[in-house]
Structure 1
């Protein structure tokens, strides 16, 4: 009986930790998108990992890349968080984004944890999706 209770409490603890992790990751991505919507590229840049920051060097360069390469992230009309997955040791958060024209996009955000804070380490556009299909 003790083993069953121990197993149940460990499972509950792991599920709670995963939920907290997912909530923190979603909050990080949502905050970056809010910063983009406000054209606050300096704040949006703070959610990027050191690797991404070293590639783009300035918030302005980063903002230009997002405006030109990921306009759906810069000006979304709706976002929905889908599943959080572990792939090859990395956490990936799938996000459905609807752009201003009503087009649906699925993006995958690679997340890394640095000193109790989650950072975005890359974004992949998985494609467009029609949820009505």
Structure 2
């Protein structure tokens, strides 16, 4: 190979890498403009499936990474043993949404029948053309007299 051919090949490789970086950045910026309601819908679908004892439907809302760690039976056991109190919530209110690359972090507040609040942070990941739940972190329960901020109409 002569020197000119090697330089052209090297330039083409750098051009392809630059174009890939540009397009990946554009895709990530598009994900960050996802309306929060799209994320709320994913979480709400999973909660509705849990309440209907449709564990396969709820399992459909989790990420491939989560599914590699837990099969359907283990997922159902986890939901029944670790999160049954969340299913007793009278309502769920969603809070702040943050994006970082392919991940979205969503705050959810489960209002219990007694009036206390269980805050959770959902981590969602963008897989193909859909958002999937990757993890849920349940935070310490708030006492009954604590109120959520924001406006209610």
Q: 4+ runs of 1 displaced by more than 4 Å?
A: none
Unaligned runs of 5+ in 2: 1-28, 147-153
- 1:32 and 1:44 in contact (8 A); partners too: yes
Query: Offset at 1:64?
Result: 1.4
**Rg bigger for which structure?**
2
Distance 1:43 1:102, change over 3 A: same
Q: Aligned pair in 2 of structure 1 residues 71, 102: CA closer, same or farther (>3 Å)?
A: farther
2:31 maps to 1:31: no
Which has the larger share of strand? 1
Query: Could you state the TM-score of these two structures normalised by the residue count of structure 1?
Result: 0.76
Aligned residue-pair number: 116
CA RMSD of aligned residues (A): 2.2
For residues 52 and 129 of structure 1, the distance between their equivalents in structure 2, rounded to whole angstroms, comes to 28
- TM-score, normalization: structure 2? 0.67
- Consecutive unaligned residues of structure 1, counting only runs of 5 or more, are 1-13
